[in-house]
Amino acid sequence: MPFRRLDRSEITATFGSGGGKGSRAVASYDQDTTTLGAEAARLAIRSAGAPAVDSLYFATADPAYLDKTNATAIHAALRLHRSGIALDVGGAVRSGVGGLRIALDGAGTTLVVSADVRTGLPTSPDESAGGDAGAAVLVGDPSAGPVIAEYLGAGAATDEFLDRWRTPGDRRSKVWEERFGETKYVPLGLEAWESALEASLLEAASVDRVIVAGTHGRAVNAFTKKLGLDAAAIVDNLATTVGNPGTAQAGLLLAATLESATPGEVIALVSLADGADVLLFRVTDEITEYRAARTVAEQIASGGPLPYGKFLSWRQMVTVEPPRRPEPARVSASAAGRSEDWKFGFVGSRDRSTGSLHLPPARVGSGGSLDDMEPAPMADVAGTIVTFTIDRLAYSPSPPIVFAVVDFDGGGRFPVEMTDVDAAEVRIGDRVEMTFRRLFTADGIHDYFWKARPVRTAADTNEEN
């Protein structure tokens, strides 16, 4: 989850309409669906003990690029093997759960990543009900590692009708009159529900927990009611803390559900999007040993507030005065290609003879060695702020820049921009971790690289890698 939260009452206070209860998660100005997906994928891989991944599917309804695959940047950030496939299954909200279904029905170890940045015009229901998040589910057989939820079977129902739509280039979606969608979704959902139970040889009564994802709130509620299950079985959709992250909602709620699941529980994952998909899982005994690298609950608890004005500017609903400095030039494709491991993977080099760390990687060591370096992956190494400054003049999509000199645990130093931070709260000695971000965009080219952010969850603060 991104760090920032928008209090929905700020919308009402500003415009006299819109808004609602609770808060929604907001992707930072330097995050897009690719970086959100990459962050979720890093957590999933860490949670699963870093198994080898054969395939990566990335689903989003808000792709950073068209024509060009976005999954390859995630693939590079994770440093997955180049013989694996990385592809986008994108464009529509349904592709989130769809990618998961394809992976479950397929072979090999597949990382299914979904992410969305949801917004709408100021005061719109989409603006307040939406949320930004990434989710990643690692699918494979026991040879890849402990299976925490066993796939039992699936059901689907597909129909062509107009519920919500967005033409390429539009910044907001439009929706048809709600009642129409509701009359479509409820029967489609029930159809898929029945066929999933049938495929899994299960009765409805044996389902312990039901996740119902979907951007059509009214249809989701009506369908859930129709199931006639005990209210305790219905998984909270995190609407008041996260909002609805569209394509990533099914993955996010599945991750949150597994964090508190017990062995033997049957989980139904339902998605209502241009039809209906139902996936059934049984939680295994391995769940007792499973520890998420960072739980959804921890991330919900560690968010920081974002003023509504910043939200509108980050979502490009308003244009604020930029710094009077030249905007950065576009990234060179060939230069970026040469430094893929550094730029996307944050891999430096370590001098074999002296042990000294070079960030960025170098051929000549400070001790005089030549071509005697080994790769030093630093993305998962935490560090400490040695000194820092606030740059109020430099170009940034969201000034001012907070910049810190970071000493990494185990040696090595890198001066780096910080993010997810309020300038006034930074202190020398603060603990930081690396995060994959989009620095800026020029000529339509996104500049992806790494920044440092404060370590905020208590469990990680003392971690010395």
Chain residues binding another protein by CB under 8 A are 324-326, 328-329, 331-332, 335-336, 338-339, 342-343, 357-360, 366, 386-396, 401, 403, 405, 407, 411-415, 417, 428, 439, 447-449
Instruction: Report the 10 Å Cβ neighbour count for 392.
Output: 11
Closer residue to another protein, CB minimum distance, 207 or 439? 439
Q: How many whole angstroms from its chain centre is CA 219? A: 25
The residue (of 217 and 410) whose beta carbon lies closer to another protein is 410
Q: Which amino acid type is present at position 443?
A: D
CB of 387 to another protein, least distance (A): 5
Closest CB to another protein among 20 and 375?
375
**Residue number, 65 or 395, with CB nearest to another protein:** 395
CA distance 209 to 279: 12
Q: In the complex, what is the shortest distance from the CB of residue 411 to another protein, in angstroms, rounded to a whole number? A: 7
Least separation in angstroms between residue 249's CB and another protein is 32
Closest separation in Å from C-beta 28 to another protein: 17
Buried b (16+ CB within 10 A) or exposed e, 422-433: eeeebeeebbbb
Distance between CA 231 and CA 297 in Å, rounded?
Answer: 21
What is the rounded CA–CA span in Å between residue 327 and residue 15?
32
Q: Minimum Å distance from CB 75 to another protein?
A: 18
- Give the containing element (helix H, strand E) for 375: strand 373-377
Give me the least distance between CB of 434 and another protein, in Å please: 13
Contact 47, 76 (CB under 8 A): no
- In 3D space, the residue among 89, 162, 164 whose CA is nearest the CA of residue 120 turns out to be 164
Of residues 242, 288, 297, 294, the one with CA closest to residue 265: 288
Determine the Cα–Cα distance for residues 267 and 253; give it in Å rounded to an integer: 11
Dmax (CA) of the chain = 73
| Residue 318 CB, nearest approach to another protein (Å) | 23
Residue with tokens 């820049």: 401
The Cα-based distances of 409 to 117, 361, 464 in angstroms read 33, 18, 6
Indicate the residue among 14 and 369 with the shorter CB distance to another protein: 369
Closer of 301 and 386 to another protein (Cβ): 386
* Residue 132 CA: distances (Å) to CA of 20, 84, 456: 17, 28, 19
In the complex, minimum distance from the CB of residue 436 to another protein, in angstroms, rounded to a whole number? 12
CB of 329 to another protein, least distance (A): 4
Nearest to another protein of 301, 329 (CB atom): 329
Q: Cβ closer to another protein: 204 or 428?
A: 428
Half-sphere exposure (CA, 13 Å, Cβ side) for 106? 17
CB of 389 to another protein, least distance (A): 4
Q: 87 or 336: whose CB is closer to another protein?
A: 336
Calpha distance 170→172 (Å, rounded):
6
| Structural contact between residues 132 and 27, judged by C-beta atoms closer than 8 angstroms | yes
Cβ-based nearer residue to another protein, 144 or 357: 357
DSSP 406: E
Q: How far is the CB of 394 from another protein (least distance, A)?
A: 5
Give the residue with the Cβ less far from another protein, 17 or 354.
354
Question: 125: helix, coil or strand?
Answer: helix
Looking at residue 182, its amino acid is: E
- Toward another protein, which CB reaches closer, 58 or 346? 346
Tokens 């589910």 appear where?
Answer: 137
Contact 148, 258 (CB under 8 A): yes
What residues does 136 pair with on adjacent strands? 113
Q: Shortest approach of another protein to residue 383 CB, angstroms?
A: 10
Lookup result for tokens 């989009």: 438
Q: CA 65, CA 88: separation in Å to the nearest integer?
A: 10
